[in-house]
Copies of this chain bind each other. A is one copy, B any other.
């Protein structure tokens, strides 16, 4: 005994499937009596419409796909949370796709998502390579970039201005009197979350008349361990006069703080640390981390809103979201 179909309902109610469909979709054209009869039978049978069949004729699946390079961190959790929330409000479902930064997996997922007829794709935090773009365009699937953007292709995106946010973080340190600031960057050469943040750092130093010293830069990978490694290296080379470090992610900042603890460096008394993202992790470390915030959840919501608009209108404008500096206890002013 399989699931009841609209036909089972129509038979048992003694009406045509057309009529059942009408009451189901709240359309006009039937007497109160038949409506009640139909509703009655639907209840008895425990009938539920098959959204798949519906989608086939409507050419609408009400689902979108979201592609992440990795899924286990506060950063993506926050983003995902906003995405799911907004999607749910718009009666959309979301397929999660973890590409693991792997090209093959990404292309495979692009293919699968297309076959599953998703109405659009949210491409999160990864570089939009040519094959991805070609595939996306060829399949005519609307998509928007989240927390990333493309220089090469005209694709709508939502992100904060990394350069400015980074500048703000360093400026904050500068205003607190720091003059010997190191930076633990994200992946070297990363055109999205890497270089722009380094640029912001460099620009801030320059605007305060300070030199940019390559030896005060460490290139990590946004992860905790690389943050710790970065702190260690920076400390080793500048233990004489390093008073603050700016990490391009909260995780790296946490790693840096952890390294300080092992190295016997007191934060923030001896070393100020400022992070980037302001994920929930920021307030969980000791001492609580001061960081520039990216409004992750809001970005997630904005992204689906944009995607849906793109789906119906065929175009949308990109959005630059506001960053914000949230002060906690990991930065201390230099005593003069």
- Residue numbers of A with Cβ under 8 A of B are 3, 46, 48-53, 55-56, 61, 63, 70-74, 76-78, 80-81, 84-85, 88, 93-98, 105, 111-112, 114-117, 138-140, 224, 251, 254-255, 257-258, 261, 280-281, 283-288
Contacts and interface: CB of A to CB of B under 8 A. Distances in A.
14 contacts: A46-B139, A48-B139, A52-B117, A63-B116, A72-B80, A72-B81, A74-B74, A76-B77, A94-B95, A96-B96, A224-B284, A251-B284, A261-B287, A281-B281
Contacts of A281: 281, 284
A116 B56 CA distance: 12
A76 B76 CA distance: 11
A52 to B, nearest CB: 5
Which of A81, A84, A96, A97: most chain B CB closer than 10 A?
A96
B84 A115 contact: no
B84 A71 contact: yes
Contacts of A288: 258
A119 to B, nearest CB: 12
Contact of A52 (B55, B112, B138, B261): B55
A71 B80 contact: yes
Contacts of A283: 224, 258
Contacts of A255: 284
A280 B73 contact: yes
Contact of A80 (B51, B61, B96): B96
Nearest to A77: B72
A56 B52 contact: yes
A280 B56 contact: no
A258 B280 contact: no
A116 B98 contact: no
Contact of A116 (B80, B93, B139, B286): B93
B117 A50 contact: yes
Contact of A138 (B46, B63, B95, B287): B46
B93 A98 contact: no
Nearest 6 Cβ contacts at the A-B interface: A72-B77, A51-B115, A72-B81, A261-B286, A286-B286, A254-B284
Contacts of A63: 95, 116
A332 B3 CA distance: 60
A114 B4 CA distance: 13
Contacts of A78: 72
A48 B261 contact: no
A258 B95 CA distance: 36
Contacts of A52: 52, 55-56, 61, 116-117
Nearest to A288: B258
A61 B95 CA distance: 13
Given A63-B95, A255-B284, 18 more contacts: A46-B138, A48-B114, A48-B115, A50-B115, A51-B115, A63-B116, A71-B77, A72-B77, A72-B280, A80-B96, A81-B98, A84-B97, A85-B98, A88-B97, A93-B116, A251-B284, A261-B287, A285-B286
